[in-house]
Amino acid sequence: MAPDDIGQDRALLCSETTSYRISLEAYKEFSEEINVRRLHLFEFEDQPWFPATIRDCMTDYLSHVVNQFNFYEAIVPILEKGVNKSQCCRIIDMGTGAGGGWPKLAELLVQRLPSLQIVLTDFYPNYSSLQRLVSNGNSVMTFEPDSIDARDVPDRLRGLRTQFLSFHHFNMQDARRILQNAVDARQPIAIFEAQKRDVAHLIQFALSPLGVWLLSPAIRPFKWSRLFLTYLLPVVPLCVFWDGLVSVLRTYNEDELIELTKSLDQGDSFLWEIGECRSGFIAIPYLLGYPR
Ligand SMILES: C[S@@+](CC[C@H](N)C(=O)[O-])C[C@H]1O[C@@H](n2cnc3c(N)ncnc32)[C@H](O)[C@@H]1O
């Protein structure tokens, strides 16, 4: 190929990439323009009667997907700031599920905060996955075997409270309780979601059963029950589909987060930062609150 042809080829490639980006941007803008009202429908995962075997398969899937991508790297400075605002070098992760994102996050954070401890907690602990995660030779992380309610964290668990992809599970009243509990205990809190309440995320999350079908054989710990509940009796993909769509519809937007922080007693004794971290094609909305 002559050098000129190579140049033309590159130009073509660039213009194709640019037009692809423009159409992706246009699609996102279009999607954000449509106002999707917040709907607090039920999620299977939240139901006390929901079998732990299925719930664990769902949190394992979520954790597997998050761990495949490095999209939490962008939030490391926010977590570092939150830890520095607390009295101790500890993170208390609430609604931890199977600990999605923590292996990489722990590695990155310890480079900046060498004495950091990370305690993984959940209302419905996923014992097999958490046991596996903390016994992986990584002494930074431990998990709390007791059920821990994000709305009422025991006093003994002190440090930066974090929540990943779980704040939307709580209705306005309970979401407020979570923030109020942090304010009352004077513990900083950082909340992250991986979705916004818009059409683009509804479409994206509607496709999640495909991910479950494709990725399940690679998810660890290996369980025959996972394969049975994914391929023979496809309860896991169906529940991931429903809970995924409902998660998008339940996600708080910036205005609602501001409203929540304003509704707190002594809320102004905290500084609140609300924003969005970009990591490649993923936007991570967050809320960080810490004592003034
Ligand atoms: C969608 S999963 C998120 C899991 C994990 N943080 C992740 O990013 O992969 C939501 C988690 O919230 C937990 N959860 C539900 N109600 C809770 C509560 N009241 N307190 C703490 N965790 C709760 C569920 O057990 C579940 O593990």
CA of 173 to the centre of ligand 1 (A): 17
The pLDDT of residue 33: 66
Query: Tokens standing for 107?
Result: 């590695």
Q: Which range among 28-32, 112-116, 200-204, 217-221 shows the weakest confidence by mean pLDDT?
A: 28-32
Residue 11 has pLDDT above 60, yes or no: no
pLDDT surpasses 60 at 21: no
What per-residue confidence (pLDDT) applies to 291?
Answer: 97
Give, using CA atoms, the residue closest to atom 19 of ligand 1.
149
Choice from 169, 195, 240 to test ligand 1 binding pocket (greatest atom count within 8 A of CB)? 169
pLDDT(1) > 80: no
- Predicted pLDDT of residue 69: 83
Q: What is the pLDDT of residues 148-169, one digit of tens each?
A: 999 999 999 999 999 999 999 9
Taking residues 64-87, what's their average pLDDT?
Answer: 93
CA of 191 to the centre of ligand 1 (A): 12
Q: Output the CA 125–ligand 1 centroid distance in Å.
A: 9
* Dist. CA 74 → ligand 1 center (Å): 22
Residues in the chain: 292
Residue 5, pLDDT > 60, answer no
Among protein residues, the one with the nearest Cα to ligand 1's atom 27 is 97
- What residues are in contact with ligand 1 under a 6 Å CB criterion? 45-46, 59, 62-63, 66, 94-97, 100, 122-124, 149-151, 164-166, 169
Residue 191, beta-bridge partner list = 163, 287
State the pLDDT confidence band at 283, using cuts at 50, 70 and 90: confident
Which residue puts its alpha carbon closest to atom 13 of ligand 1? 95
| 125 half-sphere exposure, CB direction, 13 A CA radius | 17
pLDDT digit string (tens) for 208-219? 999 999 999 999
Q: What is the mean pLDDT of residues 223-231?
A: 97
Rounded average pLDDT over 97-126: 95
Q: Report the nearest-CA residue for atom 14 of ligand 1.
A: 95
Q: Note whether 239 and 44 are within 8 A (CB).
A: yes
Does pLDDT of 110 surpass 70? yes
Listed range (6-10, 85-89, 120-124, 139-143) with the worst mean pLDDT:
6-10
State the chain's mean pLDDT as an integer. 90
Tokens found for residue 126: 């996923």
Local confidence band at 23 (pLDDT 50, 70, 90 cut-offs): low
Segment 185-195, tens digit of pLDDT: 999 999 999 99
% of the chain with per-residue pLDDT over 90: 82
